[in-house]
A and B are shown apart, each in its own frame.
Chain A
């Protein structure tokens, strides 16, 4: 029996490319290791168990080119193992330290099991390369994996130079195909940042669909008959799916959403700051305290006092919340399908890192939700946007407005007093790169090397993460440093190409450090797809 409607769960997994072989260890590399530990590996666990249990589910994930590059990098793989080993060692001491504490000792045992299992699966099952585990799920038909901008460049503010959009897409499609074995059908535009005209370029790369925030569809022209609950066909052809506000609010909202529940793990209390002991000090970076990932408290309430974490209670709460979410989706789909003449699709996109890293129980919630969806009801079925297009592809044509899913709904997050200074440099560099492509249509040898590295450095400078971090003020020094370094390296490589004088020692060093996109071809910076 056909369901009344569909749920498209979309998880956008992204981190900027952070890899520092020039240092023994590097604080910001922990972003990747934390996300692996708390989001990517737990999600793989959930999906693989569902597949093993024969539960029908469909989930869409975007794995960005920078994230895929880090997942496949041997240095980062080895450092992740070191990260896990250090924690497993610290936990042995933690278990001893809490041996007589009936509240915290079980939490240390919980983490010991967790880290030990993760380590074993990472080595034996993933063979250190997590991207291939996602690929297997995709090949088995459970996951659809879509791409994103090569370095998550923010298209509306880069579009001053169309070559930049082509370059971001070109390298994205290549990287996706190289690591996952097939071309992507869909794309998660960085920050869902859209400008009319981007649809035309997406079409040139064979992209069938992308996603927008709700106002991207609600304010489309002409008025979308089905609001956000069916995709529209953009003027150039690719379909645009709109975010469903209701399902977003239930998860994201601090007041009404699930992640703030008192039973769930508290993000801001960490052994790195709570525990004074040599084995915890060993986890610091050059003596400086940072999060270790060993978080022992639950949210408890809007108080400073936090109770010890109880995994079993948290898990039960996740099950309740999954049931609640499903119930609301059923109500929603029942109402929509009663007035629609075609099946509605509720598109629920989230940052993947929300599940597990921010909301520790998030992956469990997804597990319960997908099981309940498959086994407890028949009104809704999970679907991927690709499948929806294949089955219900008669779409209304409408032109979405310029928009993003950032705070404010437009470009303010990436263009404001904290970060507007970067754009003159980015635009000038793109023009210069474009001129180099025109001047040297067929370079080889050292010239090719310098041009390819120029292209790499420019793509890295274009990461919207730097502007985002400058605005949200988490690691501003690092973001500024990264931006300036990549621009500087671009300048030096471009000057080498223009002058014909090469500093091969320098080129060798920066190629070894900024090593992503091994199949780089500088000619991606032109206003047509470069194969």
Chain B
């Protein structure tokens, strides 16, 4: 890490979800990153319950997780990488400019408070939105490595001892990846699943453990797939391109630089031989 530039270290900190690092010197940043790596992976800011470890006899078979193939990441000049993140934010900033009506720092005004009405007030209570008519559980991929789950239980449904589980299905096996305790009848959670993995199909289960320790599913929701960060390892025979040509074309087309902009740790994989 000593060999990395300050900009590169800041990018790593950002990718690791750390905060408050912008004022740190290089040495302090390295310490922070080392500490973060040593501790267990943190979940994103919790909105609902804290995670508890899976317990009881599990009817699931665990499968070993294959390590990803060795990735070759073509070198990107430090200057390009540093401006990469800037570009991503610039595009979004420009896109949002069509909604800007004042310079930054001048505060935003709600039109609702200043517009003069010339029609009858419809007395719409927009603060109260309809409650769910049935219990729901939903999985939405947010980005590689992160999947969002939300649940809404019908009022009156018991929530004691309820757990939300995220599982991976590969073939016939279901592997438990993460589990949290539910404390509210409505809520959501961001599961971190690790972007280097290719997790296959993800399934969410809401339920509880019975007396014998088996998990009884109340609501199940599948299947979500986490989108991949990486280029395909497959080549079409009719539209054949060699590894080297593809790598060169990928870099030239901005694949790696664009991946850097999007804060991907690596966006190119070489085919296993």
Contacts from A to B (Cβ < 8 Å) = 15, 20-28, 30-31, 34-35, 156-157, 160, 213-215, 218-229, 244-246, 249, 252-257, 259, 267-270, 273, 285-291, 351, 353-354, 357-358, 396-398, 401-403, 406-413, 415-417, 420-421, 423-425, 427-428, 432, 468-469, 472, 474-478, 481, 484-485, 487-489, 491, 506, 509-510
Q: Are B235 and A427 in contact (CB under 8 A)?
A: no
Is B257 among interface residues, defined by CB-CB distance under 8 A?
Answer: yes
Within the assembled complex, what's the spacing in Å between the Cα atoms of A398 and B87?
28
List of A residues within 8 angstroms of B120 by Cβ: 509
Q: Are A285 and B111 in contact (CB under 8 A)?
A: yes
With contacts A256-B83, A484-B127 known, is A228 near B133, CB below 8 A?
no
Contact of B133 among A249, A291, A353, A428 (CB under 8 A): A428
Within the assembled complex, what's the spacing in Å between the Cα atoms of A531 and B111?
38
B3-11, B25-33, B56-64, B92-100: which lies at the A interface? B92-100
Within the assembled complex, what's the spacing in Å between the Cα atoms of A218 and B236?
14
Chain A nearest CB from B69 CB (Å) reads 15
Contact of B258 among A215, A475, A491 (CB under 8 A): A215
Q: Are A415 and B232 in contact (CB under 8 A)?
A: no
Q: Are B115 and A26 in contact (CB under 8 A)?
A: yes
Within the assembled complex, what's the spacing in Å between the Cα atoms of A27 and B111?
6
Q: Are B112 and A25 in contact (CB under 8 A)?
A: no
Q: Are B108 and A474 in contact (CB under 8 A)?
A: yes
List of B residues within 8 angstroms of A220 by Cβ: 232
Q: Are A411 and B140 in contact (CB under 8 A)?
A: yes
Contact of B142 among A218, A259, A267, A411 (CB under 8 A): A411
Q: Are A15 and B98 in contact (CB under 8 A)?
A: yes
Interface footprint category on B: 35 or more
Query: Could you give 13 example pairs across A and B, Cβ below 8 Å?
Result: A23-B116, A27-B109, A35-B98, A160-B138, A160-B140, A227-B253, A269-B103, A291-B101, A411-B142, A411-B143, A412-B143, A474-B100, A477-B108
List of A residues within 8 angstroms of B88 by Cβ: 407-408
3 pairs of A and B residues whose beta carbons are closest in the complex? A245-B254, A22-B119, A402-B227
Q: Are A223 and B241 in contact (CB under 8 A)?
A: yes
B144-152, B176-184, B204-212: which lies at the A interface? B144-152
Is B114 among interface residues, defined by CB-CB distance under 8 A?
Answer: yes
Within the assembled complex, what's the spacing in Å between the Cα atoms of A20 and B258?
40
List of B residues within 8 angstroms of A489 by Cβ: 124
Known pairs A28-B111, A252-B91, A428-B130; list 12 more (Cβ under 8 Å). Answer: A23-B115, A25-B116, A157-B140, A221-B232, A222-B232, A223-B241, A267-B97, A273-B102, A412-B142, A424-B138, A484-B126, A510-B122
Closest to A14 in B: B98
Closest to A242 in B: B253
Contact of A273 among B106, B229, B241 (CB under 8 A): B106
Q: Are A22 and B118 in contact (CB under 8 A)?
A: yes
Q: Are B98 and A253 in contact (CB under 8 A)?
A: no
Chain A nearest CB from B141 CB (Å) reads 7
Is B250 among interface residues, defined by CB-CB distance under 8 A?
Answer: yes
Closest to B94 in A: A358
Is B192 among interface residues, defined by CB-CB distance under 8 A?
Answer: no
Is B263 among interface residues, defined by CB-CB distance under 8 A?
Answer: yes
Q: Are A23 and B90 in contact (CB under 8 A)?
A: no
Is B52 among interface residues, defined by CB-CB distance under 8 A?
Answer: no
Closest to A410 in B: B143
List of B residues within 8 angstroms of A428 by Cβ: 130, 132-133, 136, 152
Contact of B255 among A24, A218, A412 (CB under 8 A): A218
Chain A nearest CB from B248 CB (Å) reads 10
List of A residues within 8 angstroms of B95 by Cβ: 351, 468, 472
Is B262 among interface residues, defined by CB-CB distance under 8 A?
Answer: yes
Q: Are A228 and B253 in contact (CB under 8 A)?
A: yes
Q: Are A476 and B108 in contact (CB under 8 A)?
A: yes
Q: Which of B145-186 contact A (CB under 8 A)?
A: 146, 148, 150, 152, 186
List of B residues within 8 angstroms of A223 by Cβ: 231-232, 234-236, 241, 246
Is B22 among interface residues, defined by CB-CB distance under 8 A?
Answer: no
Q: Are A415 and B142 in contact (CB under 8 A)?
A: yes
Is B196 among interface residues, defined by CB-CB distance under 8 A?
Answer: no
List of B residues within 8 angstroms of A267 by Cβ: 97
Is B228 among interface residues, defined by CB-CB distance under 8 A?
Answer: yes
Contact of B102 among A259, A291, A397 (CB under 8 A): A291
With contacts A245-B258, A402-B225 known, is A218 near B83, CB below 8 A?
no
Q: Are B98 and A427 in contact (CB under 8 A)?
A: no
Is B45 among interface residues, defined by CB-CB distance under 8 A?
Answer: yes
Which of A214, A219, A475 has most chain B Cβ within 10 Å?
Answer: A219
Closest to A492 in B: B124
Q: Are A214 and B254 in contact (CB under 8 A)?
A: yes
Is B75 among interface residues, defined by CB-CB distance under 8 A?
Answer: no
Closest to B145 in A: A410
Closest to B254 in A: A245
Closest to B118 in A: A24
With contacts A289-B106, A468-B96 known, is A506 near B115, CB below 8 A?
no
Chain A nearest CB from B229 CB (Å) reads 8
Closest to B130 in A: A491
Is B42 among interface residues, defined by CB-CB distance under 8 A?
Answer: no
Per-residue interface assignment for chain B, residues 232 to 265, with 1 indicating a CB less than 8 Å from any chain A CB and 0 otherwise: 1011101111000010011011110111001110
List of B residues within 8 angstroms of A478 by Cβ: 110-112
